[in-house]
Structure 1
Amino acid sequence: MLKNSSRLSKNSSRRIRSRAAAYLVAAAALSLALTGCGQDSTSPKEARGQADVKSTHAEAHLKAAGTANPVDCAKAKCIALTFDAGPGPHTPQLLDILKEKKVRATFFLLGKNHVDTHPDTVRGAAAEGHEIANHTWTHRRLDQLKPSEIRTELGRTQQAIKALTGHEPTLMRPPQGRTDGEVKDVTKELGLSQVLWSATAKDYATTDSAVIRKRILDQAGRDGIILLHDIYDGTVPAVPGIIDELKKRGYTFVTVPQLLAPGTAEPGTVYRP
């Protein structure tokens, strides 16, 4: 009986070690994905430290977007709220919330069935001072495409946004955070910087606004970049609670360019807290 118990104990230990190893591998894989598939990344703090001559370019960009930076994120406790894969039916409600809360966000927009379907929403977001950025045309993984296909995915959205707002985006977010050397080369060519994130609610997998809120609040940190999707039913209702609680914690909400200022995002570079 004791021998059998000992065997069971050893087998259980092996299973636990095996599961732990599997979790570590999964976590490492996720970390690799979020840092751009092995690509070097630059933090907001590092971007601010690289300012010097570039600061004039950053200030010019912020003024052109109507968001001249009154916040010094080297001193203030800044955090950037970003939304992917819109605009959609929920985006006008989100814009009303952001206006009421006096928060400006960064929107990484999809072209097909989004920018081309909700042109007034895109114009409205830009007019209200939000940063309008690129999330490709059809959300294909860029690291699986040829350079010409990457160029098309990004270029079509660049032109669609420019036609509505008068300005081409300077920021993009690769679908799933997947990037590589070829993506870097094409984004550099198109004048686009790559922006990843530090907090995500995985709101594509739940409609529970309370869960979305808690996940973001648990991951929030100084110089953080929050990733949400305004196309899912549970996300927009979670936003007021996220904003209110983070303001109570002393955070100042900024756009991604404001987070990097007086530095400026360099085309091709991956930015991640």
Structure 2
Amino acid sequence: MFLKTKPTGAGLAAALVTALTLTLTGCSSDTTAPADVRADAGSDAKGAFGPVDCRKAKCIALTFDAGPGEDTPHLLDVLKEKKVHATFFLLGKNHVKKYPETVRRLAAEGHEVGNHTWTHKILTDHEPAEIRTELERTQNAIARITGKKPRLMRPPQGRTDDTVSEVSKELGLAQVLWSATAKDYSTTDSKLIEKRILDQAGKDGIILLHDIYEGTVPAVPGIIDALKKQGYTFVTVPQLMAPAEPVPGTIYRP
């Protein structure tokens, strides 16, 4: 997850399990639910709706971290077939730079392209200048490929604080956490990944997966089909907030 597309090893997996389990409770109490900003949006709000109005529909956002990777093109084929748009939080150094055509395709096919830092450093462990570098390098790399800088970022391991929020605000980035995770870094069992997501899915939720792990992409068709049968419509994170728009620096979590 940190530097390789398909990391292995029990030690790394255990460390990731511990870290991401901790972040499910969040690193900051100052979070905002997308549904709340959507409900509070005034008549002058300009957020773009997706396939439905999430004020009325049962919406959920599918998000992928730490790519793109070698399996991402297949994932894009699946999403295209299922008519689903997702939000991708991309790593810069060994992913955006390595797979520029995939990044270009993500944007061209209507997915939301977000920032997951340059090298997956834990931002809360660093000074503002280094936080800025981690985010800004990825902003610029994505913009060179797609012509547009991201407006969303996901801090590695969900770790954020006031300093991270301030730098994010300066760079025009809203922060996006999650409500459901499969812990797909700890298993290659696609059926288990699917079950974990279905067990946690809820209206206005944000699903966290990784398109760099072996068991994840094969689990996606089943997740989509099952949730559609339950009446969910898949939207990007900004569409989940519409007609409100993401506010730079704000931490969003369902």
Identity across the alignment (%): 69
Match of 1:40 in 2: 30
What is the one-letter code of the residue matched to 1:245? A
- The 2-side partners of 1:168 and 1:44 are apart by 21
- The 2-side partners of 1:38 and 1:132 are apart by 24
Q: 1:164 aligns with which of 139, 145, 154?
A: 145
Q: Does structure 2 retain, via aligned residues, the 8 Å contact 1:90–1:236?
A: yes
What is the one-letter code of the residue matched to 1:200? T
The structural deviation recorded for 1:55 is: 1.5
Q: Does structure 1 retain, via aligned residues, the 8 Å contact 2:51–2:235?
A: no
- The 2-side partners of 1:125 and 1:171 are apart by 15
The structural deviation recorded for 1:35 is: 5.2
Instruction: Map 1:31-180 onto structure 2 (within 5 A).
Output: 33-34=23-24, 36-52=26-42, 55-56=45-46, 58-59=47-48, 68-180=49-161
Cα distance change, pair 54–35 in 1 and its aligned pair in 2 (3 A)? farther
Structure with the largest fraction of helix: 1
Name the TM-score, length of structure 2 as normaliser: 0.90
Name the TM-score, length of structure 1 as normaliser: 0.84
Q: Report the aligned-residue RMSD.
A: 1.5
The structural deviation recorded for 1:47 is: 1.3
The structural deviation recorded for 1:34 is: 3.3
Q: Does structure 2 retain, via aligned residues, the 8 Å contact 1:54–1:264?
A: no
Aligned length: 236
Q: Does structure 2 retain, via aligned residues, the 8 Å contact 1:139–1:175?
A: yes
- The 1-side partners of 2:220 and 2:228 are apart by 12
Q: Does structure 2 retain, via aligned residues, the 8 Å contact 1:39–1:181?
A: no
Q: Where in structure 1 are there 5+ consecutive unaligned residues?
A: 1-26, 60-67
Q: Does structure 2 retain, via aligned residues, the 8 Å contact 1:34–1:178?
A: no
Q: Does structure 1 retain, via aligned residues, the 8 Å contact 2:64–2:211?
A: yes
Match of 1:228 in 2: 209
The structural deviation recorded for 1:129 is: 0.2
- The 2-side partners of 1:260 and 1:77 are apart by 13
Q: Which runs of 4+ in 1 moved over 4 A?
A: none
What is the one-letter code of the residue matched to 1:189? E
Instruction: Specify the SS of the correspondent of 2:45.
Output: helix
